[in-house]
Amino acid sequence: MTQQHPDLADEQAYIDHAYECLRVSREHAWRLRDLSEADLGGTFQARFERNAFDEALLKRLADLELGGASLVFGRIDRSAEAPDAVESFHIGRLAVADEAREPVVVDWRAPVAEPFYRATGRNAMGLVRRRHFAVEGQRLLGVEYELFGDGHLGLGHDEGLDSASTAGPDGLRGYSTLLAALERGRTGTLGDIVATIQGEQDEIIRSPQHGVLVVQGGPGTGKTVVALHRAAYLLYTHRFPLEDQGVLVIGPN
């Protein structure tokens, strides 16, 4: 019988904290909008500025809406500047901060999140550990891990665990989150892959902005979904001037 990861409860508590911070951010945005709507008078300049502020608030509220998607799907631990020190970042669909403006969740498009997708045993990119979360909404179902450093090639034993406690019924470790995502049935709706982006896909998504980028692949290899995630990445990284110019997506159907 597979045992629970010893940090499952702590990680669940952290995810709950992240959702609470997200809720507070939404409430703060709504309060600002209510205050803005309370003042409908003023000069033309004041009304113009109020409309621009209201538009920005609506966009912020839209950004904070997850729908049925999970907020957090992973964590990276990387070496810090101090000897033997480690700093941790939880990776998710959008950036969330607490009331002190300290980051709680890092947006998957941020530079600090790149090793979550790109680190390998040959190039750890400063990581000592990477965790993948199996999540269903706010509920954490399981934790999988990869260790980096001497004696590890991207796989290893998490602290406090033995191989029997982390292996699944088939002895599989490390990639069952990805396999579970790939085995989900097609729903007819194009989904996102932010939790399971592979290194080669991430290289395409984070390619430099300038110039034409051509991606070739057979049917069903994920070209369209990678292209859409690249558009999301470019709008995040190069917000100005792309946000004003917009992004045109042309498809065959």
Report d(CA 31, CA 147) in Å as an integer: 44
Kindly state the DSSP code that residue 205 receives in the 8-state scheme: H
Residue 164 has pLDDT above 50, yes or no: no
Write down the pTM of the prediction: 0.75
Q: Dump pLDDT digits (tens) for 189-244.
A: 555 678 888 888 999 999 988 888 998 888 888 888 899 899 999 988 888 778 77
pLDDT digits (tens, 9 = 90+) for 228-237: 899 999 988 8
> pLDDT value at position 169?
36
When pLDDT is averaged across residues 119-140 and rounded to a whole number, the result is 92
Residues 79 and 155 both lie in one domain: yes
Report, as an integer, the average pLDDT of 142-169. 57
pLDDT surpasses 60 at 1 = no
Question: Which residue among 188, 222, 240 closes a domain?
Answer: 188
Q: What is the pLDDT of residue 52?
A: 73
> What phi and psi, each to the nearest 5 degrees, are found at residue 55?
-65, -40
More confident residue, 161 or 12: 12
- For residue 160, what pLDDT is reported? 39
Q: What is the mean pLDDT of residues 19-43?
A: 78
Give the count of beta carbons closer than 10 Å to the beta carbon of residue 85.
Answer: 9
Let me know whether 253 and 132 are in one domain: no
The answer on pLDDT for 188 being more than 60 is no
- State which of 188, 222, 245 marks the end of a domain: 188
Q: Give the end of a domain, one of 188, 215, 237.
A: 188
Cβ neighbours of residue 207 closer than 8 Å, sequence gap 6 or more: 213, 230
Domain match, 237 and 120 both: no
Whether 33 and 144 map to the same domain: the answer is yes
Position 181 confidence tier, pLDDT thresholds 50, 70, 90: low
Phi, psi of 124 (to 5 degrees): -75, -15
Q: Which residues constitute the domain of residue 91?
A: 1-60+69-188
Say how far apart CA 113 and CA 81 lie, in whole Å.
18
Measure the CA–CA gap between 70 and 165, rounded to whole angstroms: 25
Mean pLDDT, residues 163-167: 39
**18 and 56 belong to one structural domain:** yes
Structural domains in the chain (count): 2
